[in-house]
Structure 1
Amino acid sequence: MSRSAPLGAPSEARDVLAITPFRRLWISLSLSSLGDWLSLLALMSLAAIFTADGSQLVRYLAVSGVVVIKLAPSILLSPLAGAVADRLDRKWTMVVGDVLRGLLYVSIPLVGLLLSGFALEWLLIASLLAEVVALFWAPAKDATVPNLVPRKLLEQANRLGLLTTYGTAPVAALLFAALASASNVLGAFLPSVASPEADAALYLNGLTFLIAAIVVAGLPIPKHQPSKDSESETRDSGILRSVWTGRRHAGGTPPVRGLVPGMLGALAAGGAVIGVGRVHVESLGAGNAGFGVVFAAVFAGMALGVLAGPRILKQFSRRRLFGLSIALAGLALLFAGAVADMVLTAVLTALLGVGAGIAWVTGLTMLGQEVEDEYRGRGFAFLHGAARIVLLVATALAPLVAGLVGDHAVPLGALTYDLRGGGVVLMASGLLVVVLALVCYRQMNRRDDPEAGPGLLPELFAALRGVAIREEEDEESRPSGAFIVVEGGEGAGKSTQVRELTVWLRDQGFEVIGTRQPGATKLGMRLRGLLLDRENSHITPRAEVLLYAADKADHVEQEILPALRRGAVVISDRYVDSLLAYQGAGRDLSSDDIRGISDWATQGLRPDLTVLLDVRPEDGLSRLGGPADRIEGESAEFHDRVRRGFLELARADPERYLVLDAREPREKITREIQRRVRSLLPDPVPSGSEAVTGMIPVIRND
């Protein structure tokens, strides 16, 4: 498994967006995605408005019909559309597709103004036609991206596409709410503007698709010749087929058997929200603007959950986190259906999004780890296909149930509680999600879970403070020394700064051990010779990782831990981060796998401070006067990846890192290191007084 940067990581995103054709395509995709979300909100609102004089069941079914029409074509017709789309010119398929969708969406308010009796029927017909057009547009878009970016940047380009798809949802929701509010204000002066048939969101939607088509028309997209193999593959693929063939690969281990139902159950609850949300919000006294705010709150909460949840609780068991996040989503949904306040509903839907976001990012990560590599693709295909089907079924059934329940006034003594059909569906969905969360938690949180601590609440409180539960329990048994590591690329000046820092601390009265990796022990010296010998170019990357891990295991056990236990300061030239940068980023191996091996080899010992001397590879290698060993002789691209790997590690854990520019004068770098190190240590014992053993506390920032 290759290295994976965060979604939209700034450094790599800039590299991809620096490619002009892809940047223009990305702008076009952003506009098209914005138009898709804007059209969904506008069509759901118009469906509710056009059926305002009908029964509650008709209103619910009209709104859910819009969503069903949006999802059903991709489930039923995607294999056929994919096969046909592969025969068409990709560039003009995208251009014509955007133009047609824009015209169809603009036609909906126009038909509503001219033929009000046919407004709802044309809304559904135009929505269906627009989704059929999108089936041809999407394969052309997916096939175009690899032609515009180098292979090594394709993964990040796909991440940016995913960010565009979902990142525009809250923007569209807030824009929809703003347009609805503006229409209400202008409607006081121009009554025709306030008419729902003249929905400004759909006119703006048509404009976004038109601009997207113009942008794509100017792109240098090469023509292609479809192969018979690719056509047959596309013809045989499809959501229904992927669900049928992939179901047996997504339920192997007990954790996976808890993951998949939990993720699909949470999505079913989301479908219920979509199906009844528009009419339910209106029953709370809010119209289009309120619906836009609630929709934006859900997606903003999801973004917060995806980005912040796993980081805030990074010391918490992933299995427990998955169950708790689904429970949070269920409870938020339960209370959102029970309350009759619009502001509180928006807050609760944001919490629903947070729980769903944490659950999905945690679930996808664990699914990738639990399912064997050869079955992983089919497992994910099953999950995504099943997700669409579950979403479609839930969206279709929820409004039917809400309409059948209806609205009732329940007397509670002197008060009356308005029990709404939409609220009942939301409460029932929330309750089912909570029950499902408990089942998943019991299925995944087994006694043999290596991550789980001794108790849920103690581990949760410890994780909120940023420490692991085992770390708290072992506080008294920790070594009492301080561990400092100096890292950097070739020629960064690490050895010089280790020597300067060692001399300075000894002059301050500390016991200091200066060391290096590899080569600090007898075994390490032999491994160093083996690893750095230019004649040993046959060493494979995985074998290289294991040899470096063997050196670290021997070094930690024989040199570092004994010194720390007697209170010494240990300063090491390289440690685990070099393995992550050189073999993870440089060799393009899985950083998670390397981290796991390293943690086991080093007994989980982490530095109190890591000094990173950042240097451009060409500058560092020029200081050496030519490659002296196997690593120094690697390509410039290899050393560039290593440098980016170091910087990504530093960005991920800024509290533990001190990043310095290695081009600065040596004396200035030394002073900066001394200033930071001095803040970590207590006042030393003067030379000639009692022993310093046990005086230097370990300061853990991990």
Structure 2
Amino acid sequence: MGAPSEARNVLAITSFRRLWISLSLSSLGDWLSLLALMSLAVVFTADAAPLAGHLAVAAVAAIKLAPSVLFSPLVGALADRLDRRWTMVGADVVRGLFYVSIPVVGLLWSGFALQWLFIASLLAEVVALLWTPAKDATVPSLVPRRQLAEANRLTLLASYITAPLAALLFAALASFNNVLGAFVPSLANPEADIALYLNGLTFFTAAIVVGTLPIPKHNPGVSAASPTRDGAVLRSVVSGPRHTGGTALGHGLVIGLLTAVAAGASVVGVGRAHVEALGAGNGGFGVLFAAVFGGAALGMVAGPRLLKKFSRRRLFGLVLLLASIALLFTGPVWDMVLSAVLVLVLGFASGVAAGTGLRLLDVAASATAGTVSEESAHRERAFSFVHGAARLTFVAVAVLTPVVAGLAGDHTLPLGGELEYQLWGTGIVLMAVGLVAVVLSAVAHHLVNREDPEAGPGLLPELFAALRGVDPNAGEGDGEVRTPGAFVVIEGGEGAGKSTQVRDLTVWLREQGFEVVGTRQPGATKLGMRLRGILLDRENSHITPRAEAMLYAADKADHVEQEILPALRRGAVVISDRYIDSTLAYQGAGRELETEELREINRWATQNLVPDLTVLLDVRPEDGLGRLGGPADRIESESTNFHERVRREFRSLAEAEPDRYLVVDASEPLEKVTRRIQKRVRSLLPDPVPSSSEAVTGMIPIINDED
């Protein structure tokens, strides 16, 4: 997800907000139907052979999950010819009717109940194939182009965040099954029937909401492409791998991400039958479902804040291993509570792995691009590939695992005397998938960490240092400098508006009562001014990249010692125009020098002083350079490719440390950019007036001039 403020801005658009509510209701209905149908499949086959129950669950999973992946291209052309609003309204109404009909038909014609469950589910999913491309094409017509990316993230959130909500609702219904059974006629099980009735209600409500939306008309064949309408899911899986970086890092990330998906899908596939063996029934299935999806959501949110000093690559491998081990132990456990805890750990670890892995994949995909436009295309295709492969993996595992569990069967293992151990087919499958996941996690960890520039001296020393909040790359007494002041850096490419923001932020903070030092690099000291003249003079084109990097490091060493550290030690706020990240971007990526060597040189030169906040003013090179007035200096006159590499490195640095960075679109209006920076900076700073002083001044009477 983007920043919370960006999400609020998009949801402030009334038409999109109402569409988002409708999408959330439809997604809630989809998840409720999956839970209810899997439960009914188990109930309807309770008196049949064990294999029949597993096959019924596999059939439900295939009917619910496979059509959107495999058959959407067949109806894509038809969907594009229909009115979007009424396609979505009609699809929601028809789906609601199909799901409501399942318990009704089961009550009236019990012998046809299981068959109608499969038929109605399949027809509902076929209708959904028309609904999905209409939804995908509607979003761009309701939000401005610059907010489209955030709008797409919100629609994706609506699709998945409702899964744990549906599971908790289903578990709550199961806890009142005796009460519900007294009021609701039911052939099989009242909570599943009520879930399907609620499912229909959510679809009907979603249809009413969409029916009131001002969705503009469109011309068939001219609308924006939809990932589902043009068959991009399958095509991206075939053509996408080359866009993930083509390196060990890219391969390891893909293996790891798909392993995490497979682990969660195995719980969905055999979860209902597994909790039946545990004696937990529908309530237990709802709890397991909520644990895996809710844990994943929590993991994705908490991932960037987890072990901030620890290498992200190593974190990716370790949480994958944790998820795999949790799944491995879920299989042989007899206790429902312990099973739920293990599945929650599995979900949380998978969520951390997904959030971390996608950030690393973004960097890996960008590294293969030569220009900004190529970078955007590589990133989009890489994510399309991973998303498509993940969906196929989820479907395959969710469908195959119950079949394998049925074929494996239940076994009783004698332990000596009267003791024996019951091992169910579902437990065998969970252990088998967990064991395979452990192996794949080890492979992914090895590939991802083969060349990790962030890694410390060793895995365990780095982990223990990160748990203590200490930089594992720093020696004894050589950690980050701690001072009573606050250090804020404004970074960005040429013409991003750094100097303007430093000036405005300095004035604003002084008005708030803070002591503020506004400065820049290079050129803030006497030595710095001389170095600035040398470095930026176009006549000095003979300066080699290494010499240039060392001159910038010399400026930083003098600047930190003479200006920044003294101000921070007396409690001032220092606002600097550029710092170490500029060296990594300009001399590292721009001049193509070794980034880690530059990082070590600058860490030593600055006495390991790390900013509390780095604001990146992100701007396209052509836009930023177009803002410059007067003759260009030696750096500004570099090629567009040079500045594109610089921008790409800035963004990679920000993505690697999201908690320390604030990325702002510098093309936004100046006032909006300033407000965003002020809001973030203010949250870092203490009240400039001590509370004790406020208590005293609060007792002083106000004296007006009129008095």
Q: Shorter-chain TM-score: what band?
A: 0.7 to 0.9
Give the direction of change, closer, same or farther, for the CA distance of 1:566–1:248 in structure 2 (3 Å limit).
Answer: closer
- Cα distance in 1 for partners of 2:322, 2:666 equals 49
* AA aligned opposite 1:475: G
- Cα distance in 1 for partners of 2:226, 2:100 equals 36
Q: Could you tell me which residue of structure 2 aligns to residue 391 of structure 1?
A: 394
For 1:574, what is the secondary structure of its paired residue? strand
Q: Is the 8 A contact 1:76 1:240 kept in 2?
A: yes
- Cα distance in 1 for partners of 2:519, 2:124 equals 64
Q: Is the 8 A contact 2:84 2:138 kept in 1?
A: yes
For 2:334, what is the secondary structure of its paired residue? coil
- In the TM superposition, what whole-angstrom CA distance separates every residue of 1:69-99 from its partner, at most 9, and x where no partner exists? 1222122212222222111111111100110
* AA aligned opposite 2:135: K
Q: Could you tell me which residue of structure 1 aligns to residue 519 of structure 2?
A: 516
- Cα distance in 1 for partners of 2:26, 2:512 equals 58
1:214: Cα distance to partner? 0.5
Q: Is the 8 A contact 1:83 1:231 kept in 2?
A: no
Give the direction of change, closer, same or farther, for the CA distance of 1:67–1:648 in structure 2 (3 Å limit).
Answer: farther
Q: Is the 8 A contact 2:267 2:430 kept in 1?
A: yes
- Structure 2 residue aligned with 1:658, among 685, 693, 696? 685
* AA aligned opposite 1:445: N
Give the direction of change, closer, same or farther, for the CA distance of 1:129–1:486 in structure 2 (3 Å limit).
Answer: closer
- Cα distance in 2 for partners of 1:317, 1:567 equals 31
Q: Is the 8 A contact 1:297 1:346 kept in 2?
A: yes
- Cα distance in 2 for partners of 1:191, 1:228 equals 49
1:25: Cα distance to partner? 0.9
- Structure 2 residue aligned with 1:475, among 451, 474, 477? 477
Residue-pair matches, total: 603
* AA aligned opposite 1:352: L
Note if 1:106 corresponds to 2:100.
yes
1:273: Cα distance to partner? 1.8
For 2:452, what is the secondary structure of its paired residue? coil
Give the direction of change, closer, same or farther, for the CA distance of 1:32–1:649 in structure 2 (3 Å limit).
Answer: same
1:234: Cα distance to partner? 7.9
Q: Is the 8 A contact 1:480 1:567 kept in 2?
A: no
Q: Could you tell me which residue of structure 2 aligns to residue 192 of structure 1?
A: 185
For 1:416, what is the secondary structure of its paired residue? strand
Q: Is the 8 A contact 1:64 1:395 kept in 2?
A: yes
Give the direction of change, closer, same or farther, for the CA distance of 1:233–1:573 in structure 2 (3 Å limit).
Answer: closer
- Cα distance in 1 for partners of 2:94, 2:508 equals 65
- Cα distance in 2 for partners of 1:75, 1:611 equals 42
- Cα distance in 1 for partners of 2:686, 2:262 equals 46
Q: Is the 8 A contact 1:78 1:238 kept in 2?
A: no
Q: Could you tell me which residue of structure 1 aligns to residue 412 of structure 2?
A: 409
Q: Is the 8 A contact 1:277 1:291 kept in 2?
A: yes
Note if 1:21 corresponds to 2:15.
yes
* AA aligned opposite 1:376: R
1:173: Cα distance to partner? 0.5
- In the TM superposition, what whole-angstrom CA distance separates every residue of 1:593-636 from its partner, at most 9, and x where no partner exists? xx999978953744676799xxxxxxxxxxxxxxx999xxx999
Note if 1:58 corresponds to 2:52.
yes
- Cα distance in 2 for partners of 1:400, 1:499 equals 66
Q: Could you tell me which residue of structure 2 aligns to residue 438 of structure 1?
A: 442
Q: Could you tell me which residue of structure 2 aligns to residue 212 of structure 1?
A: 206
Q: Is the 8 A contact 1:527 1:551 kept in 2?
A: yes
- In the TM superposition, what whole-angstrom CA distance separates every residue of 1:570-602 from its partner, at most 9, and x where no partner exists? 756412689999xx9xxxxxxxxxx99997895
For 1:325, what is the secondary structure of its paired residue? helix
- Cα distance in 2 for partners of 1:529, 1:210 equals 70
Give the direction of change, closer, same or farther, for the CA distance of 1:495–1:296 in structure 2 (3 Å limit).
Answer: closer
Note if 1:175 corresponds to 2:173.
no
1:465: Cα distance to partner? 2.4
1:300: Cα distance to partner? 1.5
Quote the sequence identity (%): 55
Q: Is the 8 A contact 2:528 2:555 kept in 1?
A: yes
1:476: Cα distance to partner? 4.3
Q: Could you tell me which residue of structure 1 aligns to residue 569 of structure 2?
A: 569
Q: Is the 8 A contact 1:479 1:561 kept in 2?
A: no
Q: Could you tell me which residue of structure 1 aligns to residue 558 of structure 2?
A: 558
Q: Could you tell me which residue of structure 2 aligns to residue 124 of structure 1?
A: 118
For 2:331, what is the secondary structure of its paired residue? helix
Q: Could you tell me which residue of structure 2 aligns to residue 347 of structure 1?
A: 341
1:297: Cα distance to partner? 1.0
Q: Could you tell me which residue of structure 2 aligns to residue 315 of structure 1?
A: 309
For 1:261, what is the secondary structure of its paired residue? helix
1:238: Cα distance to partner? 3.1
- Structure 2 residue aligned with 1:643, among 667, 674, 694? 674
* AA aligned opposite 1:323: G
- In the TM superposition, what whole-angstrom CA distance separates every residue of 1:501-533 from its partner, at most 9, and x where no partner exists? 779xxxxxxxxxx6622541357558999999x
Q: Which runs of 5+ in 2 are unaligned?
A: 369-374, 490-500, 537-547, 586-594, 616-628, 632-664, 695-707
1:559: Cα distance to partner? 2.4
Q: Could you tell me which residue of structure 1 aligns to residue 426 of structure 2?
A: 422
Give the direction of change, closer, same or farther, for the CA distance of 1:201–1:596 in structure 2 (3 Å limit).
Answer: farther
Give the direction of change, closer, same or farther, for the CA distance of 1:247–1:168 in structure 2 (3 Å limit).
Answer: same
Note if 1:456 corresponds to 2:459.
yes
Give the direction of change, closer, same or farther, for the CA distance of 1:601–1:121 in structure 2 (3 Å limit).
Answer: farther
- Structure 2 residue aligned with 1:333, among 327, 333, 339? 327
Q: Is the 8 A contact 2:133 2:228 kept in 1?
A: no
Q: Is the 8 A contact 1:489 1:643 kept in 2?
A: no
1:379: Cα distance to partner? 2.3
Q: Could you tell me which residue of structure 2 aligns to residue 37 of structure 1?
A: 31
For 1:475, what is the secondary structure of its paired residue? coil
- Cα distance in 1 for partners of 2:14, 2:404 equals 50
Give the direction of change, closer, same or farther, for the CA distance of 1:142–1:636 in structure 2 (3 Å limit).
Answer: closer
Q: Is the 8 A contact 1:100 1:133 kept in 2?
A: yes
For 1:469, what is the secondary structure of its paired residue? coil
1:164: Cα distance to partner? 1.2
Q: Is the 8 A contact 1:480 1:565 kept in 2?
A: no
1:444: Cα distance to partner? 2.1
- Cα distance in 2 for partners of 1:70, 1:236 equals 20
TM-score by length of 1: 0.77
Give the direction of change, closer, same or farther, for the CA distance of 1:599–1:134 in structure 2 (3 Å limit).
Answer: farther
RMSD across aligned positions (CA): 4.2
Give the direction of change, closer, same or farther, for the CA distance of 1:344–1:375 in structure 2 (3 Å limit).
Answer: same
- Cα distance in 1 for partners of 2:18, 2:462 equals 47
Give the direction of change, closer, same or farther, for the CA distance of 1:531–1:169 in structure 2 (3 Å limit).
Answer: farther
Q: Is the 8 A contact 1:481 1:567 kept in 2?
A: no
Question: Which shifted more, 191-200 or 492-501?
Answer: 492-501
1:647: Cα distance to partner? 5.0
- In the TM superposition, what whole-angstrom CA distance separates every residue of 1:479-513 from its partner, at most 9, and x where no partner exists? 7976644787654554984999779xxxxxxxxxx
1:313: Cα distance to partner? 1.4
- Cα distance in 2 for partners of 1:186, 1:343 equals 25
TM-score by length of 2: 0.76
Q: Is the 8 A contact 2:303 2:355 kept in 1?
A: no
1:552: Cα distance to partner? 7.6
- Cα distance in 1 for partners of 2:567, 2:211 equals 68
Q: Which runs of 5+ in 1 are unaligned?
A: 1-5, 504-513, 533-547, 585-594, 613-627, 661-668, 677-702
Give the direction of change, closer, same or farther, for the CA distance of 1:502–1:125 in structure 2 (3 Å limit).
Answer: closer
Question: Which shifted more, 216-225 or 483-492?
Answer: 483-492
Correspondences of 1:368-387 after superposition (within 5 Å):
368-371=362-365, 372=368, 373=375, 374-387=377-390
Q: Is the 8 A contact 2:666 2:673 kept in 1?
A: no
1:421: Cα distance to partner? 0.3
- Structure 2 residue aligned with 1:49, among 43, 46, 56? 43
1:27: Cα distance to partner? 1.0
* AA aligned opposite 1:344: L
* AA aligned opposite 2:436: L
1:454: Cα distance to partner? 1.1
* AA aligned opposite 1:192: P
- Cα distance in 2 for partners of 1:499, 1:133 equals 59
* AA aligned opposite 1:218: T
- Cα distance in 1 for partners of 2:510, 2:332 equals 63
* AA aligned opposite 2:44: F
- Cα distance in 1 for partners of 2:509, 2:263 equals 60
Q: Is the 8 A contact 1:78 1:239 kept in 2?
A: no
Give the direction of change, closer, same or farther, for the CA distance of 1:140–1:407 in structure 2 (3 Å limit).
Answer: same
